[in-house]
Structure 1
Amino acid sequence: MSKQSANWKLWIAGARPRTLPASVAPVIVGAAAAWQYLAMLGVCTEQYPEPAACTANRAAQAVLLGRFWPVAVLCLIVALALQIAVNYANDYSDGIRGTDNGRDIPEPDDNPYDEPFDEPHPRKPQRLVASGVPARQVLRAAGVAAGIACVAGLAAVIVAHAWLLLAVGALSLLAGWTYTGGRHPYGYAGFGELGVFLFFGLAAVLGTQYALTGTIDLTGILSSICCGLNAMMLLMVNNLRDIDEDQRHGKRTLAVRLGEGNARTALAACVGAELLVSIVIVSALWPGWGVLLMISGIAVPLRMMRGVARHEFRGALMDAGYQTLFFAALIVLCVAVGGL
């Protein structure tokens, strides 16, 4: 394998592709909730002459649907670019602190599939700074990704006339940097799960719905809670995997603070809460078939829990990522089919 090829693979790994579902899913869910709201906005009882409120609603619906897809795509670009920026920023911050040192990374030629080795000798994903990439380059990459997110976000705000989202975007950038950066990173104090719940759940879903409709509703709120819980599960599995290294380097994640056993219990509580809220949403959107489809997916979080208990974190992380996408696909299907 050439040095240049290995370097590109390292940069791709540094973007942490397996975390990207946590950024894509909330935008998809927010767009689905927005579409549901807009569909209902145009519903009006047949009267003659048509009430003024119905006429105004139809006009608003036509305007919002006309810019729906451009704004949705821009929101998706913002989410992906911001996630990559956060991943590179975390790599930079953890790297200069030495948190990523000694992750027992296999050499690329030792693994023909370029995948982390499975247990009983787990290997951790490669990190850029810890692998010898200059920290300044990683920070520059984070800045470029953040710049793309800012440009796309500003474009979405202008097109949607959703100026309130400028504040949400600024807070998201600040939260992404201070997760592991700055003097007092909240990711090192056990508040990472709260951060992802707020920004990968509430802010991402409701921000997308607001950009597309100018408002939020109960479907969006409940869906944002589920997305936040799914993001928490992904981070909790990741932190359980890294619990020993984090403890040695003074990174007091929630898993470190609670201990492995209690952290697994907290993960199970998140799984249960997400399933309960999902039932409420799906029952309202597509009773019967939607609930049946949701129940059919319960095996995934259960398998994730079993993988964590067995320290099979590679599979558990894949299941956690799949769960976020499964929920997003389920909501889209319920919105698309449930109203027919």
Structure 2
Amino acid sequence: MSAKLWFKGARPMTLPVAVSSVVVGACVAWPIIEGLGVCPAVSPTPAYCAANAQRAALLGSRFWPVLLLCLAVAVLLQVSANYANDYFDGIRGVDEGRGTEGGTAAGADQDANQDARKHDPKPMRLTASGKVAPRNVLFAAIGCAVAACVLGLIAVVWTGAWWLLAVGVVCVLAAWGYTGGKHPYGYAGLGELGVFVCFGLAAVLGTQYALTGALSVFGIICAVCAGLFDCVVLMVNNLRDVESDDRHGKRTLAVRLGARRARMVMNVVIVLAWLIAIYVGMALWIPWGGVLMASGIGVPARLVSGLAKGGYRGALADSVYQTVLFALVVVVALMM
């Protein structure tokens, strides 16, 4: 029951995914705030300039506190989803054999994969390991979800963005419905859709709206790009678990398509995400933003190559790094 054990169970490698989407949302919000302060140099000064300047000052004064609230909500939702996934997969037996770091899955393919697992082990799971009582994992998931709801409610009341309450409810239900309930959508091959909507569209656009009270077409483009990158993280994870998931009836997209076709779909998503990301970089900082993003093209190349060789851990790290790289490029390009 040590803090280190709970930290591992929270799957810290996945947390940059949530943070990156919120950072991108903040970046696409800032130009809207700056735009409110721009007034044409004409005489007499248009009446709306004073109102816009006042609005810009208000939004600017609460920018960082609201951004921190959005970051906390996103991270807590991610951790809650991870604990819930640990609990539900654990009690259903999907995480069989993951009692230790590098544990092998039981079944017909155990002997064939044993050596590979030693070099590229699957991460330990709290419930499957028996090191934490299942009910405690469930309570942790509930606690994180409640904390996210409380902080989200504070942000909504502060900003007056009331429709975000509905978005928050949908995201909480999606986080739990992925592997929880009688008919988890993650077991029906819809996990990538849930990630795209909640950790891509909702995280980026929800942050933009909370900070500005408005949305933009450019924000939607960035949200789509972030969502695609986030989907790749789940795709890699599901490809790693495709054999054990199939054996336990977890019909992820990778299981439904088969490993080969699932990799092909993932490659298409990667290409599309990178094309959009390069466009976003160029739109913010011509042409160097696009050049900066393109300079990291070795990451997806290494991801695809490593995955083909069974290097799932490295591929998962690269898939997460893509989301971070995109956020960093957006930040740098916006500052230039």
Give the structure-1-normalised TM-score: 0.92
- The farther-off stretch of 58-67 and 73-82 is 58-67
| Unaligned segments of structure 2, at least 5 residues | 104-114
| Unaligned segments of structure 1, at least 5 residues | 109-116
% identical aligned pairs: 54
CA deviation after TM superposition for structure 1 residue 40, in Å: 2.0
User: CA separation in 1, counterparts of 2:102 and 2:311?
Assistant: 21
Cross-structure match for 1:98:
93
Cross-structure match for 1:10:
5
Cross-structure match for 1:234:
233
| Count, aligned residues | 324
1:36-88 CA-partner distances (Å, limit 9, x unpaired): 22112222221122111222221211111111111000000000111101100
AA at the equivalent of 2:284: L
AA at the equivalent of 1:82: L
Match of residue 66, structure 1, among 55, 61, 66: 61
Question: CA contact under 8 A between 1:119 and 1:311: conserved in structure 2?
Answer: no
User: CA separation in 2, counterparts of 1:52 and 1:90?
Assistant: 54
Match of residue 48, structure 2, among 32, 48, 53: 53
Cross-structure match for 1:197:
196
Question: CA contact under 8 A between 1:34 and 1:213: conserved in structure 2?
Answer: yes
CA deviation after TM superposition for structure 1 residue 335, in Å: 1.1
Question: CA contact under 8 A between 1:119 and 1:312: conserved in structure 2?
Answer: no
1:107-139 CA-partner distances (Å, limit 9, x unpaired): 89xxxxxxxx97664321011110112111000
Alignment of 1:18-57 (within 5 A): 18-57=13-52
1:253-309 CA-partner distances (Å, limit 9, x unpaired): 000011111111111101111112112222221111111101101111111111111
AA at the equivalent of 1:103: R
Aligned-pair RMSD on alpha carbons?
1.6
1:318 aligns with 2:313: no
Question: CA contact under 8 A between 2:282 and 2:288: conserved in structure 1?
Answer: no
CA deviation after TM superposition for structure 1 residue 104, in Å: 6.8
Cross-structure match for 1:154:
153
Alignment of 1:146-295 (within 5 A): 146-295=145-294
Cross-structure match for 2:112:
none
Give the structure-2-normalised TM-score: 0.93
CA deviation after TM superposition for structure 1 residue 320, in Å: 0.7
| Aligned CA distance change for structure 1 residues 206 and 106 (closer, same or farther; 3 Å) | closer
AA at the equivalent of 2:259: E
1:186-224 CA-partner distances (Å, limit 9, x unpaired): 000000001000001100000000000001101210110
- The farther-off stretch of 96-105 and 132-141 is 96-105
